């Protein structure tokens, strides 16, 4: 049986007909939309490489059936920059060498963006490490990742202050 | 993953009717179920998607002071609800000590209760497992079993229930609201999970078609807010299941313990409430000696199921430490590392 769903992906509404309910959001993004920035690492919810925002919240897209997320608003790594202007978290990862091979990086960045929106970590490095523990980096670039997140958090706090001043 | 039919019911009654058939399973967030399906451990013929049902995602205070948590509330939304975290701090701490932020954003209250064991032999379809396939045997008994049960286990199964959330919930007398083919009923959370006995394939008191619609905390559960902690020893500091955990909640009046609640996690096939240990503390001063006695009583019936005798002593010390921290008072802020014994928290002493 076919299932029709519609999603908003990076701001654009997309309609899909799924001929198999087993398709995950991860596979839909990669195979149907060719948005391959979202990575398939473990495919079992353990590594975080497939992290995307669904209705503003970070989740593992490998453990989400597309058919169940009919109507969802999805943000992937392809949707965070504004044209050529990188998202502050993307820029901070480059500035702080927050990666080596880069495979986990889209998931790390999406997770960091989600974490900042959750406002549970602030600028406490121990909280950042705790709140980012769902994203593994096998190259071990954690020190750079934490520095990048701290820097981006600082920049965003500053720009928020400027906006409210 | 095996093929399945996908059904999206419009009402709870439709969901029950669709799920009552053999081979059907409810789908909420799927953070555990999809993992099990990918591994061929769970092989449902039909998934009944309850995520679009209305009315199951509210956190409401009832007229009598109970708190009712809809089964579809996410772990993160519940833990970060300010009123909830203030009223039931040990439950919030337990939730935030579990899984990762991504999983907590998706995983639901109902799904957390009904998640399956993380016994590696249950997950490995090449191994014998009485829980996965009744009567096939148990490879955990002679296998890698340092993390397995020390309470309530049987020769058929030594798996543990992995939930953190359930541990303080059972200590606080949580009630589970269930909708089934004969209507609405409720049972104590303590009655939801079964011990393995000779039939470890039966894991809960739920019948085919039954769906958990809400979890309720009774009015008295708020009385422990000032002295409640959850402590969890893990093989790594974050994003790991408990080796051993404990929830401790105290009501202290005039320098004496008016009432104590203690439950253990990671030690049995269900969250393990220890009423005998609670009784030790009733009416006495919250001293190290009293906590030591309670910790001893909590593990009286424990016995190793393999290479895990260390968990018994570890559990005693975690009960002792959780009681000590609870007596010192619920911290104004959650520790940076929720439930970690290694988090810097004033009042912590080593048992």
Of A48, A70, A126, the CB nearest to B337: A126
Which alpha helices (H) appear in chain B, and where do they start and end? 12-19, 33-38, 75-79, 82-87, 89-96, 101-106, 109-113, 120-123, 166-171, 275-281, 288-298, 310-328
Nearest-neighbour CA in chain B from A63: distance (Å)? 6
Question: What kind of fold does domain A3-79 have according to CATH?
Answer: Ubiquitin-like (UB roll) (3.10.20)
**CA B341/CA B127 separation, integer angstroms:** 34
Give residue B344's pLDDT band: very low, low, confident or very high (50, 70, 90).
low
**What are the φ and ψ backbone dihedral angles of B92, each rounded to 5 degrees?**
-65, -40
pTM of the model: 0.97
CATH 3.10.20.30 intervals, chain A: 3-79
Taking only the tens place, the pLDDT of each residue in B160-177 is 999 999 999 999 999 999
Model ipTM value: 0.97
CA–chain centroid gap for B46, Å, is 26
Chain B residues lying within 8 Å of A127, measured CB to CB: 336
**What are the φ and ψ backbone dihedral angles of A160, each rounded to 5 degrees?**
-65, -40
**CA B324/CA B346 separation, integer angstroms:** 11
- The answer, yes or no, to whether residue B347 has pLDDT greater than 50, is no
Q: What is the pLDDT of residue B342?
A: 84
Q: What is the pLDDT of residue A1?
A: 84
Is B264 a member of any domain? yes
Range of the domain at B310: 221-328
Nearest-neighbour CA in chain A from B116: distance (Å)? 15
The structural domain count of chain B equals 1
- CATH code, domain with B293: 3.30.390.50
Instruction: Note whether A126 contacts B336, CB cutoff 8 Å.
Output: yes
Give residue B31's pLDDT band: very low, low, confident or very high (50, 70, 90).
very high
Is B177 a member of any domain? no
Strand ranges, E, within chain B: 5-7, 24-27, 46-49, 59-61, 67-70, 175-180, 183-188, 211-217, 228-233, 244-253, 256-265, 272-273
Is B151 a member of any domain? no
Cross-sheet strand order for the sheet of B211-217: B59-61, B67-70, B211-217, B175-180, B183-188
CATH 1.10.150.120 intervals, chain A: 88-164
Is B287 a member of any domain? yes
Rounded mean pLDDT of A132-141?
98
Kindly give the interhelix angle for A88-95 and A105-118, rounded to the nearest 10 degrees: 130
CATH entry 1.10.10.10 includes domain A88-164: no
Taking only the tens place, the pLDDT of each residue in B166-220 is 999 999 999 999 999 999 999 999 999 999 999 999 999 999 999 999 999 999 9
Instruction: Note whether B27 contacts A68, CB cutoff 8 Å.
Output: yes
**8 Å CB contact between B127 and B74:** no
Q: What is the pLDDT of residue A9?
A: 98
Is B123 a member of any domain? no
A82 touches B at CB < 8 Å? no
**CA A60/CA B104 separation, integer angstroms:** 10
């Amino acid at each position: 049986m076919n299932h029709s769903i519609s999603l908003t992906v990076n701001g654009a509404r997309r309609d899909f007909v799924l001929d198999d309910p087993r398709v995950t959001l991860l596979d839909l993004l990669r195979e149907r939309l060719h948005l391959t920035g979202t990575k398939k690492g473990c495919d079992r919810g353990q590594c975080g490489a497939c992290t995307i925002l669904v209705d503003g919240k970070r989740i593992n897209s490998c453990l989400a059936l597309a058919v169940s997320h009919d109507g969802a608003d999805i943000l992937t790594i392809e949707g965070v920059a504004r044209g050529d202007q990188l998202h502050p978290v993307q820029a901070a990862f480059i500035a702080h060498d927050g990666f080596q091979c880069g495979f986990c990086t889209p998931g790390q960045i999406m997770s960091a963006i989600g974490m900042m929106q959750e406002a549970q970590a602030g600028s406490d490095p121990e909280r950042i490490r705790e709140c980012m523990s769902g994203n593994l980096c096998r190259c071990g670039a954690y020190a750079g990742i934490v520095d990048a997140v701290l820097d981006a958090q600082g920049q965003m706090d500053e720009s928020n202050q400027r906006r409210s001043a | 993953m095996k093929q399945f039919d996908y059904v999206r019911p419009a009402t709870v009654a439709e969901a029950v009717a669709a799920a009552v058939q053999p081979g059907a399973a409810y789908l909420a967030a799927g953070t555990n179920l999809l993992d099990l399906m990918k591994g061929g451990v769970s092989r449902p013929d039909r998934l009944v998607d309850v995520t679009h049902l209305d009315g199951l995602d509210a956190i409401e205070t009832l007229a009598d002071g109970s708190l009712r948590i809809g089964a579809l509330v996410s772990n993160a939304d519940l833990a970060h609800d300010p009123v909830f975290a203030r009223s039931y701090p040990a439950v919030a701490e337990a939730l935030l000590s579990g899984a990762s932020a991504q999983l907590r954003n998706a995983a639901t209250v109902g799904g957390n209760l009904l998640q399956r064991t993380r016994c590696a032999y249950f997950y490995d379809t090449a191994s014998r497992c009485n829980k996965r396939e009744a009567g096939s045997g148990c490879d955990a008994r002679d296998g890698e079993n340092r993390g397995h049960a020390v309470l309530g286990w049987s020769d058929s199964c030594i798996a543990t229930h992995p939930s953190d959330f359930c541990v303080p919930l059972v200590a606080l007398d949580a009630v589970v609201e269930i909708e089934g083919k004969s209507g609405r009923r409720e049972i104590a959370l303590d009655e939801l999970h079964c011990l393995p006995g000779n039939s470890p394939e039966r894991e809960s008191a739920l019948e085919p078609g039954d769906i958990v619609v809400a979890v309720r905390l009774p009015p008295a559960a708020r009385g422990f807010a000032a002295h409640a902690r959850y402590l969890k020893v893990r093989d790594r500091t974050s994003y790991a299941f408990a080796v051993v955990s404990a929830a401790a909640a105290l009501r202290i009046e005039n320098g004496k313990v008016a009432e104590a609640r203690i439950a253990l996690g990671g030690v049995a096939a269900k969250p393990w409430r220890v009423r005998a240990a609670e009784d030790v503390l009733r009416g006495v001063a919250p001293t190290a000696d009293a906590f030591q006695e309670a910790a001893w009583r909590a593990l009286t019936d424990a016995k190793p199921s393999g290479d895990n005798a260390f968990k018994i002593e570890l559990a005693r010390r975690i009960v002792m430490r959780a009681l000590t921290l609870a007596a010192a008072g619920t911290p104004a802020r959650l520790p940076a590392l929720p439930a970690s014994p290694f988090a810097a928290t004033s009042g912590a002493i080593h048992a």
